[in-house]
Amino acid sequence: MEDEMLRDQRRLVELIEAEGWAVTDVELSAYDSPWADEDDPEATVTITARKPYDDGNDDDDDSPYRVK
């Protein structure tokens, strides 16, 4: 079952990276749900990713706080 959870996690990371995001952190938590009557474990995946966006105004930025 852990192998299946890890495969699902890798698939989610692949999907996010395919959209141009850079995954910076992944956390997988497996647990028995206190709300469900089944004995099957559940999992949550927390993915942190970053993606820079070009605002198109790099040359027109006159902010005195921006390092050039």
Residue 9 lies in a domain: yes
Domain of residue 30: give its range: 2-50
Residue 43 lies in a domain: yes
Copy the structure tokens of residue 22.
Answer: 């850079």
For residue 64, pLDDT over 90 is answered with no
State pLDDT tens for residues 4-59.
999 999 999 999 999 999 999 999 998 887 777 777 888 999 999 999 988 766 56
Residue 60 lies in a domain: no
What pLDDT is stored for residue 17 in this prediction?
97
What is the total count of domains within the chain? Answer: 1
Contact 6, 15 (CB under 8 A): no
What pLDDT is stored for residue 6 in this prediction?
93
pTM given for the model: 0.69
Q: Whole-angstrom Cα distance, residue 11 to residue 18?
A: 10
Residue 67 lies in a domain: no
Higher-confidence residue of 49 and 1: namely 49
Residue 57 lies in a domain: no
Residue 37 lies in a domain: yes
Cα 25 to its chain centre, rounded Å, is 7
Residue 14 lies in a domain: yes
Phi-psi category of residue 40: left, alpha or beta, with phi > 0 → left and psi -120 to 50 → alpha = beta
For residue 61, pLDDT over 70 is answered with no
Residue 66 lies in a domain: no
